Amino acid sequence: MRLRDLYEAYHQQVQFLVIYIQEAHPVDGWWFGDSFVGWLLRRKKSNAAMDLYSPTTYEERLAAAQRCADTLAYGIPTLVDDIDNAVNRAYAALPTRLYLIGLDGKVIFASGPGPWGFKPGQMEEAIRKMLKTSRETG
């Protein structure tokens, strides 16, 4: 299951947001470009950006987030973490995570770190359980 599939199935019942945080593999950081992983990504024609530097301003991060949203085409509203990385620190989100937050503000589901822990199917199970509980309690 893809995140887009999950969104299409449940966006009428659950609010979905993508929060763009700091770059996981910027050119001036832990870059994949010249590594075996970079070679594999290019070979598979991955749409992962291989030329982004760590943004130093909020405007640069906004531009990177827009590029990501356009490339991945989730169709899910995207918000952008501030340059101080407050959301990333609060949710240990790097490099990528899935969270389901209840109406009470408590975390109902937290995936493992991506890319291996990024499993929309597991989040779907949590959504189904949450919706069932909500229906039962009225």
Task: Work out how many domains the chain is built from and give that number.
Answer: 1
Q: Which of 35-39, 62-66, 82-86 has the lowest mean pLDDT?
A: 35-39
Q: Given a cut of 80, is residue 67 above it in pLDDT? A: yes
Distance, CA of 81 to CA of 98 (rounded, Å): 15
pTM of the predicted protein model: 0.75
Instruction: Give the mean pLDDT of 32-56.
Output: 63
Domain that holds residue 90: 3-137
Distance, CA of 97 to CA of 19 (rounded, Å): 10
